[in-house]
Amino acid sequence: MKTLLILFLSFLSIATVASDDSVSITHTAEIHEALESGGTPVVVEVLGVVCDFCATAMNKVFAKQDEVTATYVDLDNKTLNLVLKKNFDLSDDQIVELVQQSGYRVAAIHR
């Protein structure tokens, strides 16, 4: 029974897509430049991200993706900020999988 409850709670914590503007992208020089070049912002709320090691793990995984032009992990807001290259896309499922590869879970994705 305990295992079923854990599985159910894990299922609930997988990506929730939000189309509102309740979360805004954190602007760094790299993020700003990527947006100026026509990139698409994506803000991912991440569960469990608390330290520079967390940020490094996610930045490393996402920087390898051809679709991503800029990344920044905001530890204060617990968000992964991405800018996708113009005319490129990463699906929500792909983002969830990549965050999981980094060792974390997605609470919400805002586009």
Q: What is the pLDDT along the chain (111 residues), one digit of tens a residue?
A: 444 333 333 333 333 334 444 678 988 999 999 999 999 999 999 999 999 998 999 999 999 999 999 999 999 999 999 999 999 999 999 999 999 999 999 999 999
Q: Among candidates 85, 78, 66, 70, which has minimal Cα distance to 28?
A: 70
pLDDT score of 8: 36
What integer pLDDT is reported at residue 73 of this predicted model?
Answer: 96
Q: Are 46 and 58 in contact (CB under 8 A)?
A: yes
Compute the distance between CA of residue 2 and CA of residue 111 in angstroms, rounded to an integer. 35
Q: How much is the pLDDT for 47? A: 96
93: its two tokens:
């499922």
- The identity of residue 20, as a single letter, is D
DSSP helix/strand/coil, 77: coil
Q: Write down the pLDDT at residue 54.
A: 87
CATH of range 15-110; options 3.40.50.800, 3.40.605.10, 3.30.465.10, 3.30.70.100: 3.30.70.100
Q: What are the structure tokens assigned to 46, written together?
A: 């991440």
Query: How much is the pLDDT for 27?
Result: 86
Question: What pLDDT score does 23 carry?
Answer: 78
Its pTM stands at 0.79
Tokens for 26, please give them.
């954190």
Q: Three-class SS of residue 30?
A: helix
